[in-house]
Amino acid sequence: MVYLLHYNCNNITDIDEFTANLEEKANIIIQAILEKDASTAAKAFTSFLAGIAYSLHLSYEAYYMTLFYFVFVLTRQNLKKQKSVSGGILDCAFEAPNGEIFVFEMKHVPSTKKIEDTSIAEDNNGKPVKSFKKVKLSQPEISRALDKAAEVAMKQIEENQYPAEYWQSGHKVYQVAIAVCGRDNVRFDFKEYELPNL
């Protein structure tokens, strides 16, 4: 069976080149994760996202999580996807070749906000009606929203004890919060898991 994917490749002359470029970016992301280098991981994932046509991007967490899974597929890494644990469902976990374990939680931040439209609108009876419009967030607003989303993701990992099942492995376990706002704004935060005092 053959599947055809319609994709506008105006700037791409060779699909092998396109795939190799994504693989190279995916390898950089994995290496940055292994090194716990939040800045490089964020820049590399942003670059990975930028390699996909803007018109194909969807403003949903599941879309970005799927692309993050794809990073592991491209690099032939073993990723445990959406696993049920005692506290809920973790987005994914990754056991590195050296045995270290990374537990990921991703949050999506919308790039727009609703504000009240100050123009006067009226219903059919001539009564004023409140209406709202969407406006793009400013870069400082995006930065604050990413900070908050990463904080929420990290708190979710900790409160639900997502890494608890992995600590007995004898290897270090890291919590990784990922916040995404469109294809141009990504944040990674790493924190070594510490067994809670019982």
Is 167 part of a structural domain of the chain?
Answer: yes
Is 177 part of a structural domain of the chain?
Answer: yes
| Number of domains making up the chain | 1
Is 1 part of a structural domain of the chain?
Answer: no
Is 6 part of a structural domain of the chain?
Answer: no
pLDDT for residue 5: 40
Contact assessment for residue 36 and residue 98, using Cβ atoms and an 8 Å cutoff: no
Across the chain, the runs of DSSP E, i.e. the strands, are 79-85, 88-95, 101-108, 112-122, 128-136, 173-181, 185-192
pLDDT for residue 3: 39
Residue ranges making up the domain that contains 35? 15-192
In order along the chain (198 residues), what is the average pLDDT of each group of 10 residues?
Answer: 44 55 90 96 92 80 91 88 74 91 94 72 74 83 95 93 82 94 92 73
SS3 content of the chain, % helix, strand, coil (to 5): 40, 30, 30
Q: How distant is the alpha carbon of residue 103 from its chain centre?
A: 13
Is 4 part of a structural domain of the chain?
Answer: no
Q: How many helices (H) and strands (E) does the chain have?
A: 4, 7
Amino acid letter, 183: R
- Rounded to whole angstroms, how far apart are CA atoms 13 and 191? 41
Strand 173-181, strand 101-108: pairing: parallel
Cα 8–Cα 40–Cα 36 angle in degrees, nearest 5: 130
Contact assessment for residue 173 and residue 193, using Cβ atoms and an 8 Å cutoff: yes
The encoded tokens of residue 66 equal 């799927």
